Amino acid sequence: MTEDGEGIGKIDGFTVFVKDAVIGDVIEGKLIKVKKTYGYGRLMKVLMPSADRVVPPCPAAAPCGGCQLQALSYEAQLRFKESRVRGHLERIGHFAELPMEPIIGMDGEPLRYRNKAQFPVGRNRNGEIVTGFYAGRTHSIIPMEDCQLGSPVNRLVTKTVTSFMENYQIEPYDEENHRGLVRHILVRCGFHTGQVLVCLVINGKKLPHHEELVSRLREQIPGLVSVSLNVNREKTNVILGRELINLYGPGYLEDLIGGVRFRISPLSFFQVNPLQTEKLYGKALEFAGLTGDEIVWDLYCGIGTISLFLAQKAKQVYGVEIIPAAVENAKENAQINGMDNAEFFVGKAEEVLPEKYRQSGGSMAADVIVVDPPRKGCDEALLETMVKMAPERIVYVSCNSATLARDLRYLCDRGYELKRVQAVDMFPMCVSTEAVALMSLVSEEEK
């Protein structure tokens, strides 16, 4: 299967990509597009189902397209992800002997793991207000209130909001003519605290009768702590705008990861699978090998999740993050946890770190550097400075094993050795894969 979850099939040696076919299926398909060296097919009939094929747990799996791997057993999903990370490290990183540990999957049922959901609001063919998802590659809404990846509370929230809209004749947003008010319903849940935050994304500045909505939500939703509006008046596919208007509560919810408390606002980046996040960060902490004396840099730190997790065991942690609001959250999070050994800087990691290193006249040192970059990986200017700083250990948390492999190769050509690689499944049913790697500095004698 490809990185998008399409089946890769062969017919007389010719490669064909077929959506909805899974590894091991023998299928009958229809060629719908043919290029020189490959083509695309449509699945017509499964002639011999793969031993790993299962009935998707969600009835809307096929039209929705949000999950790509539902027709594959969970064991097979894990094998697929582990082998993708391995493949990237071998092919792109040219690592021959990989110190790779078996992927960490979810312990219980790999469903209902997401702490965040965003439902578009629209009308169905009968004119009723509905929430659901966009049918693959289109913008027509297929009604669906109970996504199997999300919390059961989502359904209660969407029902409460849509019935409020019906009662007060509040229009859902219509993309075609850029009219109507309510665009999306955002729900976030704190899995450890049971807190729930609701935010309505609106094409305007005001929601008529908002006190009534707040009072209905407070009545219906256990754990509700915050209700807010997000203003998005642009003609855009981007869900959230920048402006927030608070209607009820503090404007954020709180949740815990490994005993550290975090404040999460509608706009904050926060890992969506809290149970697996704890395992991922636990591995990062283990790889960092902290004893309490270390200086640690956490680059691409977001709201300081990894930084504060590490600060519990380090002497001093410095975090760098490009989004100013996230850095504000990070500082606040340090404070509410009573941690005074974490400091945060706003800016690009590839500018802040080299700049600080230059200012120190090359004396700035670190024992451990942790990076958790977006999909495109680390900028070379950053990697270059990391090599100059020569920390004992580098821990690389990655959501894209292709750029991970590229960056590990860079570091391993410049004095580092790859010690451990661990894939963690943060997104069951979906193709994305997270991995964490440990590199250590090769000492002079070993060279």
The residue whose two tokens read 């270390």 is 294
Amino acid at 246: N
Name the strand (E) or helix (H) holding 352.
Answer: helix 349-359
In whole angstroms, the minimum distance from the beta carbon of 374 to ligand SAH comes to 5
- With contact defined as beta carbons under 8 Å apart, do 415 and 399 qualify? no
Tell me whether residue 226 or residue 271 sits nearer to ligand SAH (CB atom): 271
In whole angstroms, the minimum distance from the beta carbon of 117 to ligand SAH comes to 18
In whole angstroms, the minimum distance from the beta carbon of 353 to ligand SAH comes to 9
Tell me whether residue 352 or residue 439 sits nearer to ligand SAH (CB atom): 352
User: What's the rounded Cα separation, in Å, for the pair 9 and 44?
Assistant: 14
In whole angstroms, the minimum distance from the beta carbon of 87 to ligand SAH comes to 24
In whole angstroms, the minimum distance from the beta carbon of 103 to ligand SAH comes to 19
User: For 298-343, what is the HEC assignment?
Assistant: EECCCCCHHHHHHHCCCCEEEEEECCHHHHHHHHHHHHHCCCCCEE
Among candidate residues 58, 67, 199, 399, the one labeled active-site is: 399
The residue whose two tokens read 């011999």 is 48
Tell me whether residue 95 or residue 357 sits nearer to ligand SAH (CB atom): 357
Tell me whether residue 91 or residue 375 sits nearer to ligand SAH (CB atom): 375
In whole angstroms, the minimum distance from the beta carbon of 167 to ligand SAH comes to 39
- With contact defined as beta carbons under 8 Å apart, do 319 and 399 qualify? no
Burial 139-173, CB ≥16 within 10 A → b, else e? eebbebbebbbbbebbbbbbebbbebbeeeebebb
Backbone angles phi, psi at 36, to 5 degrees: -60, -50
Burial category of 414 from C-beta neighbours within 10 Å (exposed 0-12, middle 13-18, buried 19 and up): middle
- With contact defined as beta carbons under 8 Å apart, do 98 and 421 qualify? yes
Residue ranges in contact with ligand SAH by CB under 6 A = 269, 271, 300-302, 305-306, 320-323, 326, 348-350, 372, 374
Name the E strands within 12-166: 14-18, 26-34, 38-48, 100-104, 116-123, 129-134, 141-143
Tell me whether residue 256 or residue 323 sits nearer to ligand SAH (CB atom): 323
Is 399 labeled as catalytic in the residue annotation?
yes
In whole angstroms, the minimum distance from the beta carbon of 372 to ligand SAH comes to 4
User: What's the rounded Cα separation, in Å, for the pair 330 and 303?
Assistant: 4
Name the strand (E) or helix (H) holding 361.
Answer: none
- With contact defined as beta carbons under 8 Å apart, do 131 and 185 qualify? yes
Tell me whether residue 245 or residue 272 sits nearer to ligand SAH (CB atom): 272
In whole angstroms, the minimum distance from the beta carbon of 301 to ligand SAH comes to 5
Tell me whether residue 165 or residue 267 sits nearer to ligand SAH (CB atom): 267
Q: Taking the chain, what is the end-to-end CA distance rounded to the nearest angstrom?
A: 40
Tell me whether residue 144 or residue 378 sits nearer to ligand SAH (CB atom): 378
Plot region of 263 (φ>0 → left; ψ -120 to 50 → alpha; else → beta): beta
- With contact defined as beta carbons under 8 Å apart, do 32 and 41 qualify? yes
The residues annotated with a catalytic role in the active site are 399
